[in-house]
Structure 1
Amino acid sequence: MVDRDREYVEFVAAASGSLRRTAFLVCGDWHRADDVVQDALYKLYRSWSKVDRGGNPLAYARRVVVNAALDSGRRSWRREVPTVDLPSDRVLPGDHADEHAERDEVLTALGALAPRQRACVVLRYYEDLSVEQTAQILGCSEGTVKSQVARGLATLRIAIDRARQTERAL
């Protein structure tokens, strides 16, 4: 195996889990996340010789994944509406799964965000990237990241409050 290929395989083994989680948080669907990561890793492999492996190849890979996740949401097949809604699992008060319910509540609320807001919030607070790093990955200004995050957090608060009010009413 060529050194370049070995480096790529080692990188994929180390980073694919993180990239998959990021893709899921940006697009909201594990199957789409898998497709996004596969497409991104293919693109990354094609340009692997150009990637500065002495720098931060994870940042480059993350940018490719986030852009692919945002692009996949624009495809016409993503606008299809399911005809049957599956019942949601409800967690009873005092259940040992309260922590999972809160996580699910946040994931559901993330779905209420516009794609760019969602990407900004995920990169800033889940991936713990700086405003500057997030702006570089998304190819926008730092001011745009700040405003998208502020709007995204406000939308998250409203979505979570509504979900909790609905749950109390039931």
Structure 2
Amino acid sequence: MSAGAESSEDLGRPPEASACQDPEAILEFLHHTHARAVLRAATLAAGTSSADGLDGMQFAFLQAWRRLNSPTGPAVQDWGGWLRRTAVRHVLKDGESRRQTVQLDGVDLPDPVLDIAGHVVLKEQYQGILESISGLSPRRRQALGLRDIAGYTTAETAEIMGVTEGTVRNLIDQARSHIREAAGEANDD
């Protein structure tokens, strides 16, 4: 193998066209390199249905085969990402088309009642929480936002903020206490 082909493999791309122009060999390389990751992504998108995940993976590699044999199609820069996206999109689209609808003919449904009072209370509570969050110190707000809103782990939040995990836990605890106190004061009114 040439040095160029080795670096292509490191990037998860098939050998360059000059090194290998056989679509079958390129597809074999793609399958060998990316099949597990594509299957994982498709199965996860399918809600852990292995049959739907396999179907998505098969569809992605079929599209790759068509793409490799199409001289007019645009070049794919990242085959691993392209295969995963194609498989996941297929699984999601297939799942939408298979959703079953329940017939409600003959079923008496209650008339929808618009609960304006409940909506107003909910909106006021939401506004109160936003105000209490805006009243937090910047470090508490950052810790709370990274951990509880963005979904980072405590360790990741600590690394981003440049502090210890204990400091992050302390900042989040203080922020939550402040929000609870503000919500309690709002309920007292």
Larger Rg: 2
Q: Which has the bigger relative contact order, CA under 8 A and spacing at least 6?
A: 1
- TM-score normalised by the chain length of structure 1: 0.42
